[in-house]
C-alpha cells in the first residue's frame, strides 16, 4: 500500500515550482549579460563574473538534474492529486506552453547564447553589428520566455475555465 503523501503536497509543490522556474533562470538572465560585453576592436573582455559563470554552469550542467527533479516532483503531485487533474484545461494549456518554452529555450536560445558568449570571428564592423543584432534577438527571446512563464503562473494560480 502506498503511503499517504497528501501532507507533503505543499512541500512537493514548492519544490516543483522552484525547479520549474530554475530551469529557465539561465535563459532569462544570460541574454542581458551580453549587453555589457563589448565587441569593439582591440577590446579584451574580462572574465565573466561569478553570477554569469554560475548561470553558464547551470545551463550546461544543471539542466539534467533539475529536469529529473521536476519529473519526480511532477509524478509525486500526480500521485497525490490523481490522474483526473490532467483533464483540467488550464493545466493542459500550461503544460503545452511549458513544453513549447522548453523547446525554444534549449533548441534555439541556448546554442545562440553559446555562440555569442564565445565572440569568435568578430573582426569587421559588419561582424560587430551582426553580433549586436544576435544579442538583441536573444534578449527578445528572453522576453518571450518570461511572458510564457508569466502566463503559466497565471494559469496555475487562477485555474480559469478555458473551455
pLDDT in tens, 26-50: 888 888 887 655 666 666 666 778 9
Q: Which three cell numbers stand for residue 161?
A: 475555465
Spatial neighbors of 145 by CB under 8 A, at least 6 apart, are 24, 27, 28, 101, 104, 105, 109
List of E strands, 46-137? none
Mean pLDDT throughout 115-142?
A: 84
Contact present, 90 and 155 (Cβ < 8 Å): yes
Mean pLDDT throughout 105-125?
A: 81
What is the pLDDT at residue 36?
57
What residue segments make up the domains of the chain, in order of their start?
6-158
Mean of pLDDT over the chain: 86
Model confidence band, residue 158 (pLDDT cutoffs 50, 70, 90): very high
Q: Which three cell numbers stand for residue 97?
A: 506552453
pLDDT in tens, 132-146: 898 899 999 999 999
What is the pLDDT at residue 40?
64
What is the pLDDT at residue 60?
84
Mean pLDDT throughout 55-82?
A: 89
What is the pLDDT at residue 91?
92
What is the pLDDT at residue 148?
94
Give CA–CA dist 21/15, Å, rounded. Answer: 10
What is the pLDDT at residue 41?
65
Spatial neighbors of 96 by CB under 8 A, at least 6 apart, are none
Amino acid at each position: 500500500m502506498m503511503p499517504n503523501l497528501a501532507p507533503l503536497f505543499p512541500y512537493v509543490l514548492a519544490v516543483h515550482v522552484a525547479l520549474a522556474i530554475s530551469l529557465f533562470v539561465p535563459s532569462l538572465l544570460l541574454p542581458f549579460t551580453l549587453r555589457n560585453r563589448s565587441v569593439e576592436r582591440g577590446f579584451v573582455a574580462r572574465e565573466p563574473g561569478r553570477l554569469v559563470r554560475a548561470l553558464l554552469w547551470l545551463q550546461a550542467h544543471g539542466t539534467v538534474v533539475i529536469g529529473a527533479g521536476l519529473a519526480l516532483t511532477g509524478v509525486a503531485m500526480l500521485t497525490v492529486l490523481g490522474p483526473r487533474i490532467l483533464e483540467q484545461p488550464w493545466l493542459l494549456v500550461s503544460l503545452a506552453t511549458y513544453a513549447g518554452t522548453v523547446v525554444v529555450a534549449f533548441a534555439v536560445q541556448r546554442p545562440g547564447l553559446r555562440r555569442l558568449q564565445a565572440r569568435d570571428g568578430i573582426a569587421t564592423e559588419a561582424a560587430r553589428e551582426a553580433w549586436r543584432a544576435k544579442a538583441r534577438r536573444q534578449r527578445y527571446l528572453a522576453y518571450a520566455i518570461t511572458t510564457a512563464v508569466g502566463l503559466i503562473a497565471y494559469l496555475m494560480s487562477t485555474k480559469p475555465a478555458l473551455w
